[in-house]
């Protein structure tokens, strides 16, 4: 099996390096190959997703991805910005289903910004549709002044669009995931305002008829955002569109204490996927050995479970992370009084040691 390693920008290289160290002590037979992506690829090749990187990702059984983005690239035209790399990978690899678990580890209950009783035992799975919606809908663009100058821009527009097959396939993913959990799905939309999401709701109801053992309820996105803060444990599986999922999954991440703890998986119909932490590239802390590598290490565990059919190895990694947290080690984002603050490299070493000892 082949794994493509794409560290990216900012803290990407630091956190991915720790996940690779964990992979190397598992005594599994994998071929790995690394490539540039994002801003690093633009500086070297003039494009955030060079053909060589895309071909590597397409040939791999799974992709371990760090993060892309840096403020120094903000002046580039949109098609050349680092973030286009991840959008391109999602499109070309047909990664339509994004899994973002929000789990509050017992050791981190007091790290959440909410009261401990609200988040203790929290375990939410957000299923985000990843290749449709306003991020990919056409037409889109800007109307400029007659001479083509952006300073005289008249308007800008994006198109929110979903097709029936796109909604049906993400609905099936959500209902099937719920069957392995508490058999409850909350579909989040804005059907009271947007035709796109009235259609989303109608299709969700149709597909639900094939899953009579799963409970389905519907919630408007603004109410869902409020309920995630008010009573987050009322949710189990949440399924929603691309833009709403982007926002709600980051909100849910902070309920757990730090976005630095949350992994993600983006899968296609063949369960080949891209695995990355839910956080960004954080260029302001890059190279300082303070980033939290645990989200990336847990993304590696998801890779082993979903794409590489190695559930025992995935469980070893997850148990090692729990053991390290139980020992009191913390990176800066999850540190509190009475725990020991460590850096990126030290946290990775602790997980490596725990995996070896398992």
Same domain as 278, residue 235? no
Question: Alpha-carbon distance 344 to 112, whole Å?
Answer: 21
Mean pLDDT, the chain cut into blocks of 10 residues (358 residues total) = 97 98 94 97 97 98 97 91 94 95 89 87 95 92 71 84 97 96 97 98 98 98 97 97 94 85 93 93 96 97 95 96 96 91 98 95
Question: Alpha-carbon distance 92 to 79, whole Å?
Answer: 15
Report the pLDDT value the prediction gives residue 149, as an integer from 0 to 100. 64
Q: Out of 2, 72, 115, 222, pick the active-site residue.
A: 222
Same domain as 244, residue 272? no
Residue 103 bridge partners (DSSP): 123
- The vertex-324 CA angle with 320 and 328, nearest 5°, equals 165
Domain contains 12? yes
Domain holding 83, by residue range, is: 1-96+268-358
Which candidate, 91, 89, 73, 79, places its Cα nearest to that of 132?
Answer: 91
Domain contains 75? yes
Same domain as 311, residue 252? no
Instruction: State both tokens at 76.
Output: 């580039």
Q: Give the total number of structural domains in the chain.
A: 2
Report the pLDDT value the prediction gives residue 98, as an integer from 0 to 100. 96
**How far are the Cα atoms of 68, 70, 176 from residue 280, in angstroms, in the given order?**
7, 10, 29
202 is a catalytic site residue: no
2 is a catalytic site residue: no
Q: Out of 91, 123, 135, 158, pick the active-site residue.
A: 135
Same domain as 145, residue 64? no
190 is a catalytic site residue: yes
Same domain as 210, residue 311? no
**8 Å CB contact between 232 and 114:** yes
Neighbour count for residue 111 (Cβ, 10 Å): 20
Same domain as 131, residue 54? no
Report the pLDDT value the prediction gives residue 357, as an integer from 0 to 100. 93
Query: If you compute the radius of gyration of the chain from its CA atoms, what whole number of angstroms results?
Result: 20
The predicted model scores a pTM of 0.88
Same domain as 244, residue 181? yes
246 is a catalytic site residue: yes
DSSP state letter for 64: E
158 is a catalytic site residue: no
Answer with the one of 234, 258, 282 that is the final residue of a domain: 258
Q: Out of 9, 190, 275, 333, pick the active-site residue.
A: 190
Answer with the one of 258, 283, 304 that is the final residue of a domain: 258
Domain contains 263? no
Residue matched to tokens 């790995």: 32
């Amino acid at each position: 099996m082949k794994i493509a390693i794409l560290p990216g920008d900012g803290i990407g290289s630091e956190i991915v390096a720790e996940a690779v160290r964990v992979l190397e002590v598992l005594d599994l037979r994998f071929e790995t190959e690394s490539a540039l992506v994002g801003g690093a690829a633009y500086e070297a090749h003039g494009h955030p997703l060079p053909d060589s990187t895309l071909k590597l990702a397409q040939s791999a059984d799974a992709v371990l991805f760090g993060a892309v983005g840096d403020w120094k690239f903000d002046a580039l035209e949109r098609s050349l910005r680092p973030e286009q790399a991840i959008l391109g990978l999602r499109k070309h690899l047909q990664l339509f289903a994004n899994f973002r678990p929000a789990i509050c580890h017992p050791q981190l209950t007091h790290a959440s910004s909410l009261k401990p009783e609200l988040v203790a035992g929290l375990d939410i799975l957000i299923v985000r549709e990843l290749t449709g919606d306003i991020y990919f809908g056409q037409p889109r663009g800007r109307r400029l002044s007659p001479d083509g100058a952006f300073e005289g821009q008249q308007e800008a527009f994006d198109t929110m669009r979903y097709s029936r097959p796109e909604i049906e396939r993400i609905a099936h993913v959500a209902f099937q995931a719920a069957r392995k959990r508490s058999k409850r799905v909350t579909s989040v939309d804005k059907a009271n305002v947007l035709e796109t999401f009235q259609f989303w709701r109608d299709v969700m109801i149709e597909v639900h008829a094939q899953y009579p053992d799963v409970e389905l309820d519907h919630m408007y996105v603004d109410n869902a955002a409020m309920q995630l803060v008010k009573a987050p444990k009322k949710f189990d599986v949440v399924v929603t569109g691309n833009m709403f999922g982007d926002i709600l999954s980051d909100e849910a991440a902070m309920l757990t204490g730090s976005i630095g703890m949350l992994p993600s998986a983006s899968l296609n119909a063949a369960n080949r996927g891209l695995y990355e932490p839910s956080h960004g590239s954080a260029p302001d802390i890059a190279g300082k050995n303070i980033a939290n590598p645990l989200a990336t290490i847990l993304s590696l565990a998801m890779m082993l479970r979903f794409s590489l059919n190695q559930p025992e190895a995935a469980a070893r990694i997850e148990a090692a992370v729990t053991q390290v947290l139980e020992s009191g080690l913390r990176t800066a984002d999850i540190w509190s009084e009475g725990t020991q603050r460590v850096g990126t490299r030290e946290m990775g070493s602790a997980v490596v040691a725990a995996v070896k000892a398992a």
